Amino acid sequence: KIKNEIVIPINHNLLAAKEMTVDEVENVYSHSQALGQCQPYLERHGITAHYTLSTAAAAKRVAETGEDAAIGTLKAAELYGLKVIDTNIQENFNNETRFVVLDNEDSPITGNDKTSISFSLFEDKPGGLYELLGLFAENDVNLTKIESRPSKEGLGHYIFFIDLEGHRLDDDIGRILKDLEDNTSFFKILGSYPVFSEDLFK
């Protein structure tokens, strides 16, 4: 089960094996997601993007060849002995990545918790998801994330992932989740855990 969540700011930096200016960089290597997040910057400077499996792989490649540049973290620059040509080159300065900590048990109730669940509908019909989400609205439970992914059962079948405020051991939340389980073909509680705060990990 999910026991904790950790949210880490993501800052992309332009790295090279030798001292150079941004205008001297012609080719850059990185993971597709990092390249996409830095695309406006790359276009402004006329830099050609090349894909790698990860930002770490890009940094390693540049360190080994001594050519071109990579997009990566300051930690990658330190690890591979690269020069930092420019910092924070991503377009969105509120870019964050969420990680979860797994354990066999939930975290205890703190009063500032979040619960993650997944479920599938009995059938794909207009208003089906709306009806289920009404359970939360009727009980003043705030949903902080709703995502869907295609299931393996065929076209039109989806698995929904929801984050909601509250702990599954709260009486009201427990009752709502039981109602949801009774009205879905698949239902799983992924975990209840404290809302992320940097103070939790100091």
Positions marked catalytic: 97, 99
Distance of CA 67 to the CA centre of its chain: 31
Residue 89: count other Cβ atoms within 10 Å of its Cβ: 22
Four-residue CA torsion sign, 130, 136, 140, 144: negative
Chain centroid to Cα 17, Å, comes to: 30
Q: Which residues contact 172 (CB under 8 A, 6 or more apart)?
A: 139, 141, 166
Sign of CA dihedral 151, 152, 154, 155: positive
Listing from the earlier edge strand, what are the strands of the sheet with 48-51? 48-51, 27-30, 69-72, 13-16, 83-86
Other CB atoms within 10 A of residue 193 CB = 23
Report which DSSP code applies to 64: H
Q: Minimal CA–CA distance to 86: which of 45, 116, 122, 57? A: 45
